């Protein structure tokens, strides 16, 4: 059984890492556009942006708490 593929424009540049939340409700994406974005997996809507990095963001991590 094939699942539907979702493609969306996440960053203005290469995406360097993606990370699913432990409850599988959110996706974090880090990019060469110096930002980290939070996406709702339910509807693939952008729910938050962390900006202000001086260089590309190469890794993200979440604390279970």
Look up the pTM and report it: 0.82
Average pLDDT over residues 11-18: 92
Q: Is 6 domain-assigned?
A: no
Instruction: Quote the domain boundaries for residue 18.
Output: 13-65
Q: Is 7 domain-assigned?
A: no
Q: Assign residue 24 a region: left if phi > 0, alpha if psi is -120 to 50, beta otherwise?
A: left
| Residue 48 DSSP one-character state | E
pLDDT at 8: 73
pLDDT at 34: 94
Q: Is 8 domain-assigned?
A: no
More confident residue, 46 or 2: 46
Q: Is 49 domain-assigned?
A: yes
C-alpha–C-alpha distance, residues 11 and 57, integer Å: 11
User: Do residues 41 and 26 touch, judged by C-beta distance below 8 A?
Assistant: yes
Number of domains in the chain: 1
Average pLDDT over residues 4-25: 88
Q: Is 56 domain-assigned?
A: yes
Per-residue pLDDT tens for 15-39? 999 999 999 999 999 999 999 999 9
């Amino acid at each position: 059984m094939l699942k539907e593929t979702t493609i969306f424009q996440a960053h203005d540049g290469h995406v360097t890492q993606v990370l699913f939340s432990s409850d599988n409700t959110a996706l974090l994406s880090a990019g060469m556009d110096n930002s980290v974005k939070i996406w709702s997996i339910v509807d693939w809507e952008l729910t938050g942006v962390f900006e202000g990095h001086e260089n590309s963001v190469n890794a993200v991590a979440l604390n279970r708490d």
